[in-house]
A and B are shown apart, each in its own frame.
Chain A
Amino acid sequence: LDQVELVGNWADLREDRAEEIVTQMSPPVAYWSTVLNLRPDRRKWTLELLHAALRLANYAQMRFKHALACRRPLEYSPQVQPMILTPGHGALPSGHATEAHIVALVLWNLVRSKEPTKPLEWLEQLMRQAARVAINRTVAGVHFPVDSAAGQLLGLTLGAYFLARATAPAGVKANYSAFKFDGTAFDNTGDFDWRKHYNVYATGTSAAETQTKALNAGGVAFADQMSNSPQSAGRAPLLAELWSMAQGEWP
């Protein structure tokens, strides 16, 4: 399997990435904090909001993981020798990729809702970091690059849904773009390169349109917009309340 070969090649960086890999086993709040400060005493509702997003991601990704039941790298070769314990659930989509990308998207939209002129480099940095978190799982030997690509799409789609639920005005449904991942269209020998699937600098008139353009920017075969996209979702009152409390923590 070509993807195992990639896992082996990425393993060259294990010594370099060991600390990151171990400290990113649980949600890497400290790493997000290096971009946007998430000190618990100043940003407790933001952290609560992000954890709500993480719970959504976790439930959704586990449904996929269990349904697809994709094998982990170590089940293909005894020489993968992962640095950390391989979880019991399936490989695709990568939970770390899903979670890192939903957080990047939600956090960015939260901050920008208060500061509409905040430069897009902040989003770029969040996305770069999310990709790095995802790739570190490949370095560790527990995920294939294709898992990260699927996780990125899932995370960004879930993020869009989450934002719709949190920000839709009362009684109005908000649109969000939904994407599907076509594994058969993914190049067997392909590596995960986040820029192929996402363009930070895409612009649209609405959040959903921006998202659609951002994801379409790469024009990659395996990331199709779903035929019934955009979907719409209504306001979740509790989530909306949490959103506004978190908003209050940002300048």
Chain B
Amino acid sequence: MIDWLVRTFTRIWRAVSGVIFSPRPPAGGTPRQPPAGWTTAPVPPRDTTQMPGADPYHDWAVSTGFAYYGSGSWLPLLLELRPSAGTIQSFGQFLAASPRYANLVIVPDIFTQPSTRLLGKNLTFLVVLADRSFVPAIDTDTSLHKWIARYEIGQAVTVDSHVSSITGFLNQPANYVGTPKAVIGVIDDGIAFAHERFLDAGGQPRIEYLWDQVLPFFSGMEYSKVAIQGFLTGSLFGGQVVDEDDLYRKSGHINQTRGGHKPLAARASHGAHVMDLACHRKLRPQTGEQPIVAVQLPVSSVRDTSGATLRPQIYFALRYIVAKADAIAAAAVCPPPPVVVNVSYGTIAGPHDGLSLFERALDELIQSATATVEVVLPAGNNHLSRCHAELALAPGSVQTLNWRVLPDDWTESYLDIWMPGGGAAGPPVQIAVTAPDGARSGWIQAGAQLQLKIAGNTVVAQVSFYPPLYVGPQAVVRISMAPTASPRAGVPLAMPGLWRISVRNTGHLPVSPIHTWIERDDAAPGYKRAGAQSYLDDPAYGRYDDGGRPIVNDNDPRTINSHVKRRHTLNAIASGGSPIVIGGFRHGGKPEHEAWSGSSRGPALPPGRANGVPGWGPDAMYRSEDSPSHHGVLGAGTRSGSCVAMNGTSVAAPLAVRRIVDSIVSPSPSNPTPLVDRAKVFNDAGWNDPGGGNQPPAELGGGGRVLDPPPRERGIEWP
């Protein structure tokens, strides 16, 4: 009761003080690049009954001339087709027959010729490679509106001889040896395919296929098991030990005449570690029993941790893995085996209702497959990143979000405000933004757009307020910001500092909840930092208690009054109903088995994660930290015999993959039923939770914490 009074009073005080004391700093100042000021315009018109829903990045991409999408001329697009329009096959025929698009769009045959477990299913999601000129056509050509419901743009790629390799995706392994009981898929960066941990009992590679989207970019190279075996013997000199430096030089993965990050040149890579945790068995599996199909993501997309450009590649990779699993089954003459895919990636900003393009694509794939396809995602590491706020606006009230954009940020920053739709006209909410130098915009409502331009008429910040149905059922404000620093001259820069975003309720009813998420902008593991993670700077947010321990609960009195929240921080690609989502806990320390402080918390917003599983968040927690002094868990480095520690929910997810695959391949007394859907993983975690009085709530820890495999015993071998 007192709690409620305090909260209500705080809300009223905030609302009132927002009106009375809302900061009005003097306009002008001495910014590095004098802004030409804010301009207001309507958002580009979009008849959502006819035109496709927008990629949330689309308008910004157009405003900035696709400056942030790389230099290649082809863009991978993740498309959602309207089910009424026809099948993917007929869409492919439509494009091929079109004199305008036949040479501008490539539909990989993986989508037009679905493999066994997807046969006869009317799938609506696909990835195409499109010339840049195709993107504006999606908006303007009515003949395309009939087909395309939504689309999302990936990182531009260079296309050379890729067409043949794309149509070669349906190759089957010749003379498959063994019986596949489960296929493990790994989509990651730095796949150390020569590592001895990925060999089977016969000393053969377990990697049946590796699709390397790096060399050459996107279209990539496909390495079969035979090719990998060839590399292994090609770099075996005299003795028993493969020279992996030499091998990766020969395969082109360590080619220092090319620029850019080479994950396999370093001692540790995300992909080697994750794949080890997902695939390693104490006893090497029999040949062909647990084949791996791995996809190395393109480096430039991994670098962009916003994930904005990664999603088309990941969906393509998933479909590739499923197609290869079916090809393996065909070659082995057996029914399609279960496929368990680990995707240890996550982002922060999104609708969190499971309805985003990528999440719907995942759900469709998992639900349509007639043989098991499970996708395991990490819950996310942004529990304490201050990238989420939740507001409730009383009629007439104003609240201000303080967005701290950091200096020396070489990449764009994005902030989304999602709110209930409120009918076709949008909710009765207005937005105004004040730049760090005091340049204050006017108020805009749904359907309008603000742009901050600098000298030369270049847009460095854009605030687009989309009415409902524009992007999804919620109304959304998308604020896009140029980098604040760049090593190159001539790059338009936004100003670092405190950007104040005022949100005003102009209606007669409360508007709630209004969720804000800042998009991820940190460095991928092993990569040089380019971005800098911006955050919401709320004085009422408490970060640490008096003992210096992080505050992990929104109900803690030191942080309860803040609108910046730890709830609803779940990985923004993990709100769909079908993927298995895994959080992380710390094994040792006191208290034991405590939820790792960074592990993101649900719940997703309705209808996200709705699948009859309680919690609406992660399904289970697996080990992501060994103890307070041993950060992370041990796993393979890039070279055989090396061992490194990595942490976060990225390493908890593959441990879940391992348990799921174990449960399929060799059911044991402690693990009797195959864990082939969310509910089973949830219940399994509940049965196996070590207890101890600090069990995390379901929105944080799902069914419970699973200690399988336990941390390594003393000695060289790790689990």
Contacts and interface: CB of A to CB of B under 8 A. Distances in A.
Contact of B256 (A9, A16, A124, A200): A9
A57 B120 CA distance: 73
A201 B330 CA distance: 44
Given A16-B266, A128-B243, A193-B249, A10 B238 contact: no
Contact of A120 (B238, B257, B528): B238
B261 interface: yes
A120 B239 CA distance: 8
A124 B239 contact: yes
A6 B265 CA distance: 14
A5 to B, nearest CB: 7
28 contacts: A5-B257, A5-B259, A6-B256, A8-B259, A9-B256, A9-B257, A9-B258, A9-B260, A12-B266, A12-B528, A16-B267, A120-B238, A121-B237, A121-B238, A121-B239, A124-B237, A124-B239, A124-B243, A128-B243, A128-B245, A145-B256, A189-B257, A191-B256, A191-B257, A193-B249, A200-B238, A201-B237, A201-B238
B246 interface: yes
B251 to A, nearest CB: 13
A144 to B, nearest CB: 11
Contact of B241 (A6, A8, A121, A200): A121
Contacts of B658: none
B261 A12 contact: yes
Interface string A1-28: 0100110111011001000000000000
A119 B255 CA distance: 30
A200 B237 contact: yes
Most A-side CB within 10 Å, residue of B249, B257, B265: B257
Nearest to B258: A9
Interface in A171-210: 189-191, 193, 195, 200-201
Interface in A102-139: 119-121, 124, 128
B253 interface: no
Chain B's interface: helix, strand, loop or mixed, by majority? loop
User: DSSP class of A's interface residues: helix, strand, loop or mixed?
Assistant: helix
B262 interface: yes
Interface string B255-278: 111111110011100000000000
B129 to A, nearest CB: 28
Contacts of A13: 265-266
A2 B255 CA distance: 14
B262 A124 contact: no
B286 to A, nearest CB: 30
Nearest to A191: B256
Interface of B: 237-239, 241, 243, 245-246, 249, 255-262, 265-267, 528
Contacts of B249: 193
Given A189-B257, A191-B256, A193-B249, A12 B237 contact: no
A200 B246 CA distance: 14
Nearest to B257: A189
Q: 6 tightest CB-CB pairs across the interface, nearest first? A: A121-B239, A9-B256, A16-B266, A189-B257, A191-B256, A10-B256
B238 A9 contact: no
A5 B257 CA distance: 7
B88 to A, nearest CB: 40
Residue among A2, A189, A193 with the highest chain B CB neighbour number at 10 A: A193
A138 to B, nearest CB: 8
A124 B258 CA distance: 27
Contacts of A121: 237-239, 241
A9 B259 contact: yes
Nearest to A201: B238
A72 B265 CA distance: 24
B265 A12 contact: yes
Given A124-B243, A128-B245, A193-B249, 13 more contacts: A5-B259, A9-B256, A9-B257, A9-B260, A13-B265, A16-B266, A119-B238, A121-B239, A121-B241, A124-B237, A190-B257, A193-B246, A201-B238
Nearest to A10: B256
B561 to A, nearest CB: 41
Nearest to B259: A9
A161 B262 CA distance: 39
A189 B259 CA distance: 12
Contacts of A193: 246, 249
B239 A12 contact: no
A138 B79 CA distance: 45
Contacts of B245: 128
Contacts of A8: 259
Nearest to B235: A195
A11 to B, nearest CB: 10
A13 B268 CA distance: 11
Contacts of B265: 12-13
Nearest to B265: A13
A110 B245 CA distance: 27
A236 to B, nearest CB: 33
A9 B267 CA distance: 16
Interface in A134-170: 145
